[in-house]
Structure 1
Amino acid sequence: MNEKDKAIEDLKIIRNIIDRTKEAIDPGASILILWGILVFIGNIITHFILINKISSNYIGYTWWSIAITGFIISMFMGYKIGLRRYKYGFNHYISRQLALVWTIIIPTGIVWTIIGPHFNIFTYESASVSVLWSMLYSIGIYTMGIFYSKEFLFGGIAIFLGTILSVIFIEIHCIIIGIFTGGGTTIPAIIAHRRFNKNLRKNK
């Protein structure tokens, strides 16, 4: 075997290891699907509140209701995902790294959402809160693309582009962010979820 053939063979082995590693990751995609849908719904409701000049308090009520509901459901989903990971022996290290990314991102967003309006850094009526969360989602989904699969990479890029468009077309920023952030989160998660279920059936 010459050097070229050996290099090709080595690349095939590396590729196989990468593919097997991805198959051994449980991305917890059901939680991302949930939050993608919730973000879309929240932004549509926020847009309705803004265009009808309803009190901005209702924007806060909307998002805190969504956050609490999502958190409770996510806790239940996370418990089931944790049991599944240990039962089937999936790659816990990478799954924990992915969870750590969101563990950092979510509290960051919550803190800024609270202190921003309190210190008049921005208001709920402005696009700032939506843009903040859109950027955080972009970072989180993009990072999942690095760790897991290219679908999330494209999703993160789509969310980032949506964030830019929302700043340009400020009058409909909630609609844009809802579509791009919701879609950029949900669509890759659905693809990942289907792939995971396929691998799960294959490995049973």
Structure 2
Amino acid sequence: MLGDCLLIIAIAFGTALAGEGITWLLVYRSDHYKRLKADMDKKTKKLEKKKQEVGDTNDKNIKRKLEREEERLKATNRDMSMFKMKSMFAIGLAFTALLSTFNSIFEGRVVAKLPFYPIGFIQGLSHRNLIGEDMTDCSFIFLYILCTMTVRQNLQKILGFAPSRAMARQQSSPWAPPNSQMNYLR
């Protein structure tokens, strides 16, 4: 079981490294991406500086200018995301093939024991393709996903590909309500 765990961690590290390598080849080293990233950083810093200078003001002209700056920033972010999309699509196809291959290798094998009982909707993933009723048994797919999420985020930070904190703050979360729709509450 320990050997399987270490192998899965190595596979996750290898696939994350390969994914970042492909992304670097297709996206990060291009002049277009570098230009978009520099533009994004510049607009983000400019917007944050304006927000700090303005503070809480009731002047509608200033608020409109800030909203226009935010829209420009969102447009640049959208352009950057569209530019990255072709790389993400290629990586997704390649990793889907790899995942099905590795899944067939580890099918039916308990690769780890979980120190907890997973909640309902996660049990299907953590106990996938395993025989038995012990929900603390862990399948390949669950451990691989956990390792990949952890390794890839840290690898992006180490290699310098992760978005800056200022950019991350500006990017909207799919669960956060958009600001423009909530203006009527203010």
- TM-score past 0.5 threshold: no
Larger radius of gyration: 2
TMscore range, shorter length = 0.3 to 0.5
TM-score, with structure 1 as normaliser:
0.32
TM-score, with structure 2 as normaliser:
0.34
